[in-house]
A and B are shown apart, each in its own frame.
Chain A
Amino acid sequence: MNVDVIHDNLLYFLVGAYPHGPLGGAALTLLLSVLSASLSAILGLVFGVALVLTRGVAHTTLLLFLGFFRAIPVIMLIFWVYFLLPILFKVDVPGLFTVVCALSLIGGAYLAHSVSAGISSLPAGQWQAGRALGLNTVQIMTSIILPQALPVMLPSFINQWVALIKDTSLAYVIGVAELSFVATQVSNRVMVHPTEIFLFVGLMYYVICATLELLANRVARRYDKHLRLDGK
């Protein structure tokens, strides 16, 4: 085991070429994951509410649309955005945009189903009570249903964030300088210590993801207790 290679490149692993160049490494991984997690949370909410409210053809179309994004590998979606958009619209698509776009679409498609399940798990009485008060569907959704459903969904949002942190490593295939890419760069440069480098990088991901997972479990347990007290 050689720890010097880690020690010498520690700053590069953490922030990439910054401040002499663009931000990279673990910092870029976190930034990418935060951006795509927030976007996929918004998309998930919109699609999830739409799933609950639509019926018939619109519902089926939405299901097919979401099913498509759940069925294709992230790499294929990254390829589509990165290589096809420039041809279609004659625009240069930056790698960062590609990754955020692809990850938030896929993350949103996954979250939509848990959002719709969370909304459906509320007792029907909540809707009836809202109707009885003379509220319309949008009002019932925003002031009665979502405030109750969202805290329960919080753990699945955090778990989705953990999944997205792991998925940002796919930005490697289009050369975005996040943690995995930086690791292969260092590995290619020093040539001799790939084991140490990938162990260390794996450990960095582990620390970030395991911390968040712990947080998700804690939040879940808190609301679990909360709900059980309500039930009694």
Chain B
Amino acid sequence: MPSSDFWLAPHYVGWLLQGFWVTIQLSLVVSFAATILGFLVCIARLSPFVCLAWPVRAYLSLFRNTPLLVQLFFWYFGASALMPPELVQWLNTQHILQLVLFDVQWPSFEMLAAFVGLTIYTTAFVAEELRSGVRAVRKGQWAAAASLGMSSMQVWRCVVMPQALRNTFPSLIGQYMNVIKNTSLTMAIGLAELSYASRQVETETFKTFQSFGIATLLYVLLVMLVEVGGQCLQRHRLQVRGGLS
């Protein structure tokens, strides 16, 4: 029964792979940006300055407790309504961004909204993971470092952060896996990533099993790759440092 027309035509597989490429690009850029921003937000959250810590608390609580989909709708429909139409048009045309970020399809407004929405959402989670990593560093470590005459900057850089990063590493990997899965929501604002492509191929060919099957397989492969990569990195780092924790 599985004859030659059981399989998808090559150009449909091409669509799926194109979508996959968009998913990979978006995941990479978002993970990178969210890690850096998450660091800054975590430091602001832990800072003794109330005027800094409270707005950050509000941000964390608000963006962690609303669905990503609604946030994406807000950035896509809501923000474009607030911006002058000329600006939206400008964002949608070819310009410098494409030159800097090699062929990332950046000029589309969907892509920008997806990037902004996903990054702001992920940053909130990364910051909280980092904070719990910092909190897990024992109080004695601070005291010991201070008694050695280290400045608070040195304590952060040489004592607390290395330990906090090691505590946070597994959950950071988990966050990167979530980013990959969350990119699928951007199909709702019309970004042609993997889920969008699979739905499109399904509507055109009626080959439900094949199109969703390939898309699912690609997602699982990518997520597993990140997980295994993370485990290898962690094992390697632990070996280099000579022992557990």
Contact = CB atoms under 8 A, between A and B. Distances in A.
A4 to B, nearest CB: 16
Contact of A202 (B71, B79, B209): B71
Contacts of A172: 69, 188
A227 B185 CA distance: 40
A207 to B, nearest CB: 9
B77 interface: yes
Q: Chain A CB within 10 Å — which of B61, B68, B73, B185 has the most?
A: B73
B65 A169 contact: no
A73 B70 contact: no
A75 B187 contact: yes
Interface residues of A, number: 39
Contact of B67 (A68, A73, A169, A195): A169
A18 interface: no
Q: Chain A CB within 10 Å — which of B195, B198, B202 has the most?
A: B195
A173 interface: yes
B81 A84 contact: no
Please classify the interface of chain A as helix (H, G, I), strand (E, B), loop, or mixed, using the class held by over half of its residues: helix
A169 B69 CA distance: 7
Contacts of A169: 67-70
Given A195-B82, A206-B66, A173 B215 contact: no
A216 to B, nearest CB: 12
B105 interface: no
Interface stretch (A96-104, A116-124, A180-188): A180-188
Interface stretch (B1-9, B96-104, B163-171, B216-224): B216-224
Contact of A75 (B67, B180, B185, B209): B185
Contacts of B223: 71-72
Nearest to A106: B181
A199 interface: yes
Contact of B66 (A73, A79, A166, A187): A166
Given A72-B216, A195-B82, A210 B65 contact: yes
A195 B216 contact: no
A74 B184 CA distance: 8
A202 B220 contact: no
A87 B208 contact: yes
B195 A75 contact: yes
B77 A187 contact: yes
B210 to A, nearest CB: 11
A170 interface: yes
Interface of B: 61-62, 65-71, 73-74, 77-82, 177, 180-185, 187-188, 195, 198-199, 202, 208-209, 212, 215-216, 219-220, 223-224
7 closest cross-chain pairs (CB), A and B: A194-B77, A73-B184, A209-B65, A195-B78, A169-B67, A166-B67, A73-B181
24 contacts: A71-B177, A71-B224, A72-B220, A73-B180, A73-B195, A74-B184, A76-B195, A79-B202, A166-B65, A166-B68, A169-B67, A169-B70, A180-B69, A194-B73, A194-B80, A195-B78, A195-B82, A197-B78, A198-B70, A198-B78, A202-B62, A202-B74, A205-B65, A210-B65
Given A73-B195, A166-B68, A195-B79, 9 more contacts: A71-B181, A72-B219, A76-B219, A79-B198, A83-B212, A184-B73, A195-B74, A198-B78, A205-B67
